[in-house]
């Protein structure tokens, strides 16, 4: 019969602990923004058919989005 590891065995690492140490989180947690009903309605009106995530991202990173549209000089096709 197999002996179960007790909590007194200092050199035994439980499988679940080892697995949790090896796992790395690849996605970030979502950002939460709390709005009133009126704020939400206005945001949806401003978004005009695009997702709220896409609209907020475009507003927050507007300068970055403009910069991304330009093509770097070293990548211009010859």
**In residues, how long is the chain?**
78
Tokens of 7: 């909590």
Do the domain assignments include residue 50? Answer: yes
Domain count, the chain: 1
Q: Is residue 6 part of a domain?
A: no
Do residues 55 and 47 make contact, with C-beta atoms less than 8 angstroms apart?
yes
Q: Which domain holds residue 43?
A: 36-70
CB distance 59 to 51 below 8 Å: no
**54 falls within a domain:** yes
* Model pTM score: 0.47
Q: Is residue 75 part of a domain?
A: no
The answer to whether residue 37 scores a pLDDT higher than 90 is yes
Is residue 21, in this structure, part of any structural domain at all? no
Domain-embedded: residue 7 = no
Identify whether 62 is part of a domain: yes
Segment holding 59, helix H or strand E: helix 52-60
Is residue 41 in a domain? Answer: yes
Q: Find the distance separating the first CA and the last CA of the chain, reported in whole Å.
A: 73
Give the position of tokens 């695009």: 50
- What would the pLDDT profile of 38-70 be if each residue is shown by its tens digit? 999 999 999 998 999 999 989 998 876 654 445
């Amino acid at each position: 019969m197999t002996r179960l590891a007790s909590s007194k065995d200092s050199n035994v690492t439980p499988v679940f602990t080892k697995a949790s140490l090896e796992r790395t989180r690849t996605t970030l947690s979502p950002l939460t923004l709390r709005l009133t009903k009126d704020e939400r309605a206005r945001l949806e009106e401003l978004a005009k058919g695009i997702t709220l995530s896409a609209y907020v991202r475009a507003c927050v990173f507007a300068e970055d989005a403009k910069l991304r549209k330009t093509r770097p000089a070293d990548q211009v096709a010859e």
